[in-house]
A and B are shown apart, each in its own frame.
Chain A
Amino acid sequence: MRNPLADKVVEIKPSGIRKFFDIVSEMPDAISLGVGEPDFDTPWHIRDEGIYSLEKGRTFYTSNAGLKELREEICRYLKRRQGVKYDPQKEVLITVGGSEGIDAALRAMLNPGEEVLIPQPSYVSYEPCTVLAGGVPVVIELKAENEFRLTAEELEEAITEKTKILILPFPNNPTGAIMERKDLEEIAKVIEKHDLFVISDEIYSELTYKEKHVSIVEIPGMQERTILINGFSKAYAMTGWRLGYACGPKAIIEQMTKIHQFAIMCAPTTSQYAAVEALRNGDDDVAEMREAYNQRRRYLMHAFKEMGLECFEPFGAFYVFPCIKEFGMTSDEFATRFLEEEKVAVVPGTAFGDCGEGFLRISYAYSLENLKVAIEKLANFVEKLRKEN
């Protein structure tokens, strides 16, 4: 038989997280700090709306771009939160999670050989999706001393004649880093100068703990060259509903809608009805969850300080990214031993790019009670390692 597989796909490395998932699955009593989704249930009024839509028999396809009602609510939301205007008819596409939006944007925009700048550490899908879309991923290694923000110099250095797209993943998974207005203004100049496009993954936009999240599209001149990706998973604790959206210039959204139409048809109808309710009446739920995350974030920063573990203060998402270089082992070694000896799972920073070496991603999508138990074990482990050295 012939080889049934495409080389392009076979060559993609499996995610570094997989290994830990497999080990942890074999350890039923392990505590995990490795989860990348909220611990809250979807607020009841949102779930109720989904159930109600099923009761009423709303079980058919929606239009390819998604429910008109939902697209309008998204535009209202973006006006209210970021102060930007989008046309619900032509500039919005409802997708199956933010992930589909990223994939569709890359596929709609890339010609073979064109380069995509991917700041790392960052979410695991940007590189493989770029490759699958025929593009060439170019990694920008972000630095702890810059609090893992992207600087104009770093961006400038990575640009070649073939550079077309910059992926902007802030607030960031796994570092928790954010980009503030002044940071965005600096990189916007470079983006404009080199005529780049931006795919801005803002899935954690509601989870910032300093000031309100600033989107790159708020910077003058940027909206016309940006695909803004967002969704319901993190803000409304709706990961399993698989619902996100992409907003951008009509010409790009039109082509993305074409891909979406042929590959997906439309995003899940039940989820779309629930999402309308989320945008209409969910602000208080978001605020309440944000406050809970913030309490945990402060607790962790305090705990790290007490155990002398180096960590920059992250102001976004629900991750902290402590540095473990002092112990002279790799992230993978640290995480493996921590799991074996203390039965606590964390994700090595290298799962999010080579420059995550020397760091761990610790998720605080867990109750304070659970975090306390795990952090006590971390403190024990750290003390043990220091005695060994």
Chain B
Amino acid sequence: MRERLLSIIEKNSRVDTKELAVIMGVEEIDIVNELAALENEGIICGYHTMIDWEKTSIDKVTALIEVRVTPQRGQGFDNIAERIYKYPEVNSVYLISGGYDLLITLEGKSLKEVSSFVSDKLSTLDTVLSTATHFILKKYKDHGTILAKKYEDTREKVTP
């Protein structure tokens, strides 16, 4: 039940508990209890809304920043990651295998805002060796949802 429930609400967190009970074929109380448990255990960490900001009049810039750092004795990357993720403008921080160490996604109002974050805050950290910033020009698909195109039903309307 847990896995099925998660896979449904991962795509649509607004389905209410009554409907979840119907489509999963279980009792509503079981859904309520399971959701509470998932929240308590920190498995469900939040209920976000997917927004295509490009379609609004609000300007936003998203950047992916590759960061190479020196791991610290006894701490590995955790300490440096924490120092970075505490900035509210940082959206996500991942430890990455391969050519660099941390991948940061960052949202700002303008190119200037993002670049000043990189030059003033990120690069000046002692353990940061180098950064490479990539600005996102267009989002085609995000969180499994295709933003660029709308679903169109092209089937014949009545078929046997």
- Contacts from A to B (Cβ < 8 Å): 15, 17, 20-21, 24-25, 30, 32, 34-37, 39, 123-125, 173, 291, 294-296, 298-299, 302, 345, 347, 351-352, 368
User: A35 touching B22 by the CB < 8 A rule?
Assistant: no
Q: How far is the CB of B106 from chain A (nearest CB, A)?
A: 31
Q: How far is the CB of B144 from chain A (nearest CB, A)?
A: 12
- Residues of A within 8 Å of B156, CB to CB, are 21, 35
> Which of A35, A39, A298 is close to B158, meaning CB atoms less than 8 Å apart?
A35
Interface presence of B153 (CB below 8 A) = yes
Interface centre among A17, A25, A32, A351 (most CB of B within 10 A): A32
Interface presence of B25 (CB below 8 A) = yes
User: Closest A-chain residue to B155, C-beta based?
Assistant: A35
A24-B158 in contact given A298-B22, A368-B23 (Cβ < 8 Å)? yes
User: Closest A-chain residue to B8, C-beta based?
Assistant: A295
Query: Measured between alpha carbons, how far is A36 from B156 in the docked complex, in Å?
Result: 9
- Residues of A within 8 Å of B4, CB to CB, are 291
- Contacts from B to A (Cβ < 8 Å): 4, 8, 19, 22-25, 153, 155-160
Query: Measured between alpha carbons, how far is A291 from B159 in the docked complex, in Å?
Result: 23
> Which of A32, A39, A173, A294 is close to B157, meaning CB atoms less than 8 Å apart?
A32
User: B159 touching A36 by the CB < 8 A rule?
Assistant: yes
Q: How far is the CB of B6 from chain A (nearest CB, A)?
A: 13
User: B159 touching A37 by the CB < 8 A rule?
Assistant: yes
Query: Measured between alpha carbons, how far is A24 from B24 in the docked complex, in Å?
Result: 33
User: B24 touching A295 by the CB < 8 A rule?
Assistant: yes
Given A21-B159, A291-B4: 10 more A-B contacts, CB < 8 Å: A15-B160, A24-B157, A25-B157, A37-B159, A123-B160, A124-B160, A173-B160, A298-B23, A347-B158, A368-B23
- Residues of B within 8 Å of A296, CB to CB, are 23
Interface centre among B24, B156, B159, B160 (most CB of A within 10 A): B160
Q: How far is the CB of B134 from chain A (nearest CB, A)?
A: 26
Q: How far is the CB of B31 from chain A (nearest CB, A)?
A: 13
Query: Measured between alpha carbons, how far is A25 from B159 in the docked complex, in Å?
Result: 12
Query: Measured between alpha carbons, how far is A34 from B159 in the docked complex, in Å?
Result: 6
A20-B158 in contact given A39-B153, A291-B4 (Cβ < 8 Å)? yes
A17-B159 in contact given A39-B153, A291-B4 (Cβ < 8 Å)? yes
User: Closest A-chain residue to B7, C-beta based?
Assistant: A291
User: B157 touching A34 by the CB < 8 A rule?
Assistant: yes
User: B25 touching A35 by the CB < 8 A rule?
Assistant: no
User: Closest B-chain residue to A174, C-beta based?
Assistant: B160
Q: How far is the CB of B159 from chain A (nearest CB, A)?
A: 4
Query: Measured between alpha carbons, how far is A116 from B23 in the docked complex, in Å?
Result: 40
